[in-house]
Structure 1
Amino acid sequence: MAIETFYRDSWVEIRLDAISHNIQKLRKHIPKEKKIFAVVKANAYGHGDVQVANAALEAGADALAVSLLDEALRLREHGITAPILVMGWIRSKDAPLAAAHDIAVTFFQKEWVQEVKRVELPCPLKLHMKWDTGMGRVGIRTLDELESLLAELDDDRLVLEGVFTHFATADEEDFVYFERQRRLYKDMRAYLEGVWPKPIVFHSSNSATSLRFPGQQEDMLRFGISLYGLYPSPVVKAERPIELQPAFSLHSSLVHVKQVKKGDCISYGATYCAEEDEWIGTVPLGYADGWIRQLQGIDVLIDGKRMPIVGRICMDQFMVKLDQPYETGEKVTLIGRQGNEEISMDEVAAYLDTINYEIPCIISSRVPRIYYDSGELIEVKNAVTS
């Protein structure tokens, strides 16, 4: 595999062996007859779709799930032949393209099925029906809708392969709403199984449900955030049903070190002014890379020690208050471990009052991704120059 070059001192490291570890841990945690969707939507949550997909499949995942048809086609273009499900809505006019590439798509609207029946399909189209049991995004909500939708599947070119729903609160401490969704799902499933004679794959378990309720009566599980070594919520992290390994870390280097005098100010708006003579380091990473302005004040790791970001984060750079002078080129870790110290994805998410899902997704593609497997360099992906 070609190793691309990059010309900046900021990068992401992705441990593909951590992806493999997390799949293998889940495989041991769930009943052996269950199958696993590895969810690689949104460029595998910012980790790299093709790289993660291949690692997950090699580790034992049975299929892949994405959100967009574009994402599925990209995987096919890179030689991935495993089953792929697009979990989001696609245009009816694009159904022939999905069928031609053996990509299963999601449906939940009678009018959409009617439109697909009017287009020419090169081969049968695999369908997964989405049920909205309480998430409130997309999907059918009643048995009447289910009956009406099933009546439209009178075309041999349309293959009802699966049915799924999504639990909105499976990662929370209170199970009341989760149980309400699960009851509705079971009622709809019982009706469907009573009237539909053909085999169907059922999948409702996201990461939280897979970890907390591994024995739930499902054919497949959708392993999303936890594929990447992150727990779906602090509640699930405290329970720790299995030990996950984070795959993502973010690093940079000092490119300038200077001493400022008491009263000197740093960055736009002069929001930080030195209270004494201080050493300040400049790091070549900023909000254009996804390290957004609200992260002013958070710590980074240098020489295995925590040091705070001072002044407003710029588009391409930010400044750090150092405990002593360092040489340029000194490694800076924004997410990850140095020695005994660690800045986790969860810590960054908590600082921003958001969830860990969002953090790797916002680290932009102009930050090169370096892929390792058990310490061996596998690939460097640089979206800027490639």
Structure 2
Amino acid sequence: MEIVVDLDRIGENVEVLRKHLKDPGTRFMAVVKCDAYGHGMVPVARAVQDRVDCFGVGTLEEGVALRQAGIVKPVLVLGPVEDYRTLQGAGLQATIGSWSALELLESQLEGADAPLEVHLKVDTGMHRFGFQPREMEKVLEAVGRQPKVQVRGVYSHFGGTFPKGEARVRRQFAVFSEVEARWRKELEEGVLFHMANSENALDFPASQLDMVRIGNGLFGPCNSRTRAGLSKAARVYGRIVGFQTVEAGECAGYGLSYRVKRPTTLAVLDGGIYEGVGLERGTEGVSGLPGLVQSLKKVLRKLLGRTNLVGGKEGLRVAGPVQMQFTLVDLGLPEEKAFRRFKLGDAVEIRQAPLYLKESVRRIYSKEEE
């Protein structure tokens, strides 16, 4: 099993997204957290470092890995950090979004020689991390008492996108706009105010502000309603490792849940649940109509015996549930015709987001790393 990543296409997506910025001077952060959404953090960062202004990562470990790989542009750690000395030593920027984080930073930086650059996070309604807007005056007073702490940005995180979440998006942005209006003049010139992710940078240009944080948009069409012209940057393939001929009326797969209607040939692909194949967004925790719609779609796919898991011109179907290490695919052909068209080792495309696949799945890059 393998993921083929087109690094040139990722670079092209950066340029496409830049054309949608209202102000050419707006900074562009490439968010490469979670191993660049499964595409490979270091190769992706190296491929786009000359096209972007800075990087965003989820953890301290990811930031250190970028530095060790030779990435020298600013790197903001978007998640909580427990070791600010290591972060400081690696020349990374920290997110401060709680009083406990601020207290920990103060205790660990006591006696430090080098400055630490931070971005302050404001909770505008997502309620995950961030100071409340009403706390900002006290926060800035506390930060001001730390001579080694330099504020480089103030930001927030949208909890939704257009069109379904438009009202919530506008509400959050209004809150952040009040923070910006109140504090921009109070802070040093050059402090960046930023909030837009991929979707809202495209669908809600007013939210672009000083910088956009682009994650999934780097890798192809995201959940934006704007047809931006982004291209899919990766494809997932399973290799055929076996065949089975099955007669009409027989059943196959886990639970013998796949009934064959006519004589056919099944192909066995390497890769299954263990590698992350078939993982999809669940309905747990999704309430109301959205959760109901997701559940109905799952049931309908099962009733119709259809799946969007396996692609290609053949229009193949997965035969039963994805298995632990393998995936059964119905080739829809009797034995003689199947063996004329397919052979052991052939690659079959799987419609699967790389994000869900383990790091152990081989990544192949179409551009040589420098």
TM-score computed with the length of structure 1 as normaliser: 0.81
| Contact kept in structure 2, 1:132 and 1:165, CA below 8 Å | yes
Residue aligned with 1:126, SS: strand
Q: CA RMSD in A?
A: 2.0
In structure 2, C-alpha distance between the alignment counterparts of 1:133 and 1:203, rounded to whole Å? 12
* Cross-structure match for 1:106: 95
Task: Provide the secondary structure at the position in 2 that maps to 1:29.
Answer: coil
2:224 equivalent to 1:246: no
3-state SS of paired residue (2:81) = coil
**What aligned pairs does 1:239-318 form with structure 2 within 5 A after superposition?**
239-240=226-227, 242-292=228-278, 297-299=306-308, 300-301=310-311, 304-318=313-327
1:270 and 1:82, CA in 2 relative to 1: closer, same or farther beyond 3 A? same
Distance across 1 between alignment mates of 2:318 and 2:208: 48
Q: Structure 1 residues 265, 177: closer, same or farther in 2, change over 3 A? A: same
| 2:220 match | 229
Question: How far 1:253 sits from its partner (Å)?
Answer: 2.4
Q: 1:371 to 1:188 in 2, by over 3 A?
A: same
1:108-123 matches, within 5 Å, as 108-119=97-108, 120=110, 121-123=112-114
Q: Distance in 2 between matches of 1:173 and 1:202?
A: 25
User: Quick one: distance in 1 between partners of 2:170 and 2:74?
Assistant: 30
User: What residue number does 1:56 align with?
Assistant: 48
* Pair 1:369 & 2:363 matched: yes
**Cα separation, 2, equivalents of 1:173 and 1:109:** 30
1:266: how far off?
A: 1.3
> How far apart in 1 are the matches of 2:219 and 2:162?
16
Give the Cα–Cα distance (whole angstroms) in 2 for the partners of residues 370 and 288 of structure 1: 20
Aligned residues: 334
Q: Distance in 2 between matches of 1:67 and 1:174?
A: 24
Matches within 5 A, 1:24-63: 24-30=15-21, 31-58=23-50, 60-63=51-54
2:354 aligns with: 360
Once the two structures are superposed, residues 112-150 of structure 1 have per-residue CA deviations (whole angstroms, 9 ceiling, x without a partner) of: 32332232434111110001111111101232x111111
Kindly state the Cα deviation for residue 160 of structure 1 after the two structures are TM-superposed.
0.8
How many Å separate the matches in 2 of 1:170 and 1:268? 38
Q: Determine if contact 1:65/1:87 at 8 Å carries over to the other structure.
A: yes
- Secondary structure of 1:314 counterpart: coil
Measure the CA separation in 1 of the matches of 2:33 and 2:279.
Answer: 26
Q: CA deviation at 1:174?
A: 5.1
Larger strand proportion of the pair? 1
Q: Following the alignment from structure 2 to structure 1, what is the Cα–Cα distance between the partners of residues 27 and 253? A: 52
Q: Distance in 1 between matches of 2:57 and 2:19?
A: 24
For the structure 1 residues 155 and 362, does the alpha-carbon distance in structure 2 shift closer, same or farther, using more than 3 Å as the test? Answer: same
- Cα deviation, residue 25, structure 1: 0.9
**1:332 and 2:313 aligned:** no
- Cα distance in 1 for partners of 2:236, 2:100 equals 46
Whole-angstrom CA distance in 2 between matches of 1:196 and 1:82: 23
In the other structure, the counterpart of 2:295 is: none
Pick aligned residue for 2:160 from 169, 180, 201: 169
- The corresponding residue for 1:207 is 198
Name the structure 2 match of 1:87. 78
> What do the CA deviations read for 1:142-192 (whole angstroms, capped 9, x no partner)?
32x111111111121011111101122233345222221111111111221
TM-score, reference length from structure 2 = 0.85
- In 1, Cα distance between equivalents of 2:43 and 2:25: 26
Q: 1:125 to 1:255 in 2, by over 3 A?
A: same
Residues 96 and 119, structure 2, Cα contact 8 Å, conserved in 1: yes
Cα distance, 1:277 vs structure 2? 2.2
What's the counterpart of residue 181 of structure 2?
Answer: 190
> What amino acid maps onto 1:370 in structure 2?
I
User: Offset at 1:72?
Assistant: 0.4
CA displacement, residues 346-374 of structure 1 (integer Å, 9 cap, x when unaligned): xxxxxxxxxxxxx321111221000003x
Matching residue of 2:58: 67
Question: In structure 1, how many angstroms separate the alpha carbons of the residues matched to 2:7 and 2:17?
Answer: 16
Alignment-mate amino acid for residue 40 of structure 1: V
> Can you list the C-alpha shifts for 1:310-366, whole angstroms capped at 9, x where unaligned?
12221111111112213223321113xxxxxxxxx6xxxxxxxxxxxxx32111122
- Change in Cα spacing, 1:197 to 1:56, as seen in structure 2 (3 Å) is closer
Q: Please state whether the residue corresponding to 1:167 is helix, strand or coil.
A: coil
Question: Which residue number in structure 2 is paired with residue 352 of structure 1?
Answer: none
Q: 1:179 aligns with which of 130, 149, 170?
A: 170
Other structure's SS at 2:168 match: helix
Deviation at 1:224, TM superposition (A): 1.0
Aligned equivalent of 2:331, options 298, 322, 338: 322
* Residue aligning to 2:292: none
**Cα deviations across residues 215-269 of structure 1 (Å, max 9, x unaligned)?**
54611110111011131x2xx24x31x2001111001222222311233321221
Q: Distance in 1 between matches of 2:248 and 2:203?
A: 53
- Alpha carbons 2:249, 2:260 under 8 Å: kept: yes
